Amino acid sequence: MRPQTASRTDGSILVSQPRLRTVVVLAAGEGKRMKSALPKVLHPILGRTLLGHVLTAAAPVSADRTLVVVGHGADQVSAHLREVAPYAEPVLQAEQHGTGHAVRIALESAPDAGGTVVVLNGDVPLLRPETVTELVAAHEAAGAAATVLAAEVADPTGLGRIVRGGDGGLEQIVEERDATPAQRAIREINAGIYAFDAALLRDALGKLSTDNDQGEEYLTDVFGQFAATGETVAVHVAADATETLGCNDRVELAALRRLLRDRVNEGWMRTGVTLLDPATTWIDVTVTLGRDAVVDQNTQLCGATTVGPAAAVGPDTTLIDTTVGAGATVIRAHAMGAAVGPGASVGPYAYLRPEATLREKAKVGTFVEVKKSEIGEGAKVPHLSYVGDATIGARANIGAGTLFVNYDGVNKNHTVVGEAAFVGCDTSLVAPVEVGAGAYVAAGSAVTKDVPPGALAVTRAQQRNIDGWVLRRRPGTKSAAAAERAGQEAPGASEGEPIHGAPVAGEGRPASGDTATE
């Protein structure tokens, strides 16, 4: 509750009784034209459901109670409310008999609700909190029995019309199906968003009739009752008609999504974010971007994603619930539940799965997948590797084709690669295992035992060359011709004879070729 204050003539402050407010959201409809098993109000649009957007718009009203009328898919809608708005109370409308019937059921469930009742439709995701606040302020300042939010639109087809009297005041709201040809020509429409005096509304709801084309209790008929009895009825016109748009099918939902995309993108650009192609950039309303961040084309930023100052994301990138630090770069990558540290780089064509963490200036390169692992400060996994359930120390280098073998068919096991360690290409680290600080692993190794700090691990077989094999086994091929021209195969050598045994790289000899790429 909000205490109301006023100044006495002697300068002291008078505190009056708190003003009661109740929000009622109408979310019981099936939305047949959506042709979906999902209730219409639960369809997502840029980070929230339709219903979630409406509840967010209503939040600044600071209602004492928020009642959400549910019907079709009531269990699903109620579960969603528990997740995103636990303060909201679902009220079941088992049979849908119109908007007036829905509001009456809601108020019957809250007999203590007084003061101002704000009624919202559950499918208007573009509605701004400022507009709801202004509607309520205008209603309460005028001491009106009811105030309707109206909008001037180019095409009012399918919408209720605002019919004004000779003095410009509201005379009635007429649904299109019940309107005369002259009334259908009116372009000022009812947005389906209202503020009422609670006591007067309760009385009027009890007098509603079902004498109309649909045989339903229309909430809009309340306005005609108030006008007929001389009550003050006000109209508040929305500054932007797009805020009042709802949706009845997926085509209209897509149109609303585009409008919201444009609004969100414009807002970020005006705060100092560069969007190279706003038409192909989709940013959820729950995302945060830092100044001088750059977002390239075909990029989706979703959920609780945060992009730090001067970071560069995209093109062709999707980030979900991911944090990107200041100055980091993420190119052509997909990340979910990951954290990319300041100055780090990701991609192209990298996949960061949940709990992938890159510390400052770390690198995850081309065709690398990281899951539940930490890549230390300045460490590199440049390309063609899988890192799962691992800790990689600062400045370590992981060669191309390295596999962190984390799953034994039953359990996931952890691998540790120490600070400044060097893992050669085409290596398998079979967890649980630890490669010590500063240690080397020769290319092509399968490491199953811990490697001490500063040691070299080698687990591959000795190489042998069989001279003359191609000429004997592949005569007539282009390979045989090339070998013969090069004079590098001896036709008389016996098959299977190892004439060049490569010693195992070890103590006292550099591991030539046992390197990783950077």
Amino acid making up residue 1: M
Residue 236 belongs to a domain with what CATH number?
3.90.550.10
pLDDT digits (tens, 9 = 90+) for 195-211: 999 999 999 999 998 87
Give the orientation angle of helix 129-142 with respect to helix 50-58, to 10 degrees: 50
Active-site annotation, residues: 383
Query: Which residue blocks in 92-205 are alpha helix, DSSP H?
Result: 99-108, 129-142, 181-184, 198-205
Both 82 and 196 in a single domain? yes
* The dihedral sign for the CA sequence 51, 52, 55, 57: negative
Contact predicate 312/294, CB 8 Å: yes
Q: How confident is the model at residue 227 (pLDDT cuts 50, 70, 90)?
A: confident
Whole-angstrom distance, CA of residue 48 vs CA of residue 15: 38
Q: What percent of the chain has pLDDT over 70?
A: 90
- Name, in order, each residue with C-beta under 8 angstroms of 415's C-beta and a sequence gap of 6 or more: 389, 390, 391, 404, 406, 429, 431, 432, 433, 434, 435
Q: Is 406 annotated as a binding residue?
A: yes
Predicted pLDDT at 224: 85
Q: How many CB atoms lie within 10 A of CB 491?
A: 9
Cis peptide before 348 (omega within 30 of 0): yes
Both 169 and 221 in a single domain? yes
Q: Is 248 annotated as a binding residue?
A: yes
Q: Domain count of the chain?
A: 3
Contact predicate 96/82, CB 8 Å: no
pLDDT digits (tens, 9 = 90+) for 152-200: 999 998 888 999 887 778 888 888 888 999 999 999 999 999 999 999 9
- Apex CA 155: angle with CA 149 and CA 157, to 5°? 85
Both 75 and 150 in a single domain? yes
Both 219 and 152 in a single domain? yes
Both 305 and 238 in a single domain? no
Whole-angstrom distance, CA of residue 53 vs CA of residue 44: 9
Q: How confident is the model at residue 516 (pLDDT cuts 50, 70, 90)?
A: low
Instruction: Read off the pTM.
Output: 0.87
Q: Is 426 annotated as a binding residue?
A: no
pLDDT over 60 (residue 391): yes
pLDDT over 50 (residue 494): no
pLDDT digits (tens, 9 = 90+) for 438-490: 999 999 999 999 999 999 999 988 889 999 999 999 999 999 999 999 984 44
Predicted pLDDT at 517: 57
For residue 416 the two structure tokens come to 């540790």
> Residue 485: which domain range?
467-501
Q: Is 337 annotated as a binding residue?
A: no
Q: Is 407 annotated as a binding residue?
A: yes
pLDDT over 90 (residue 4): no
Both 211 and 316 in a single domain? no
Q: Is 400 annotated as a binding residue?
A: yes
Fill in the DSSP letter of residue 513. Answer: T
Q: How confident is the model at residue 501 (pLDDT cuts 50, 70, 90)?
A: very low
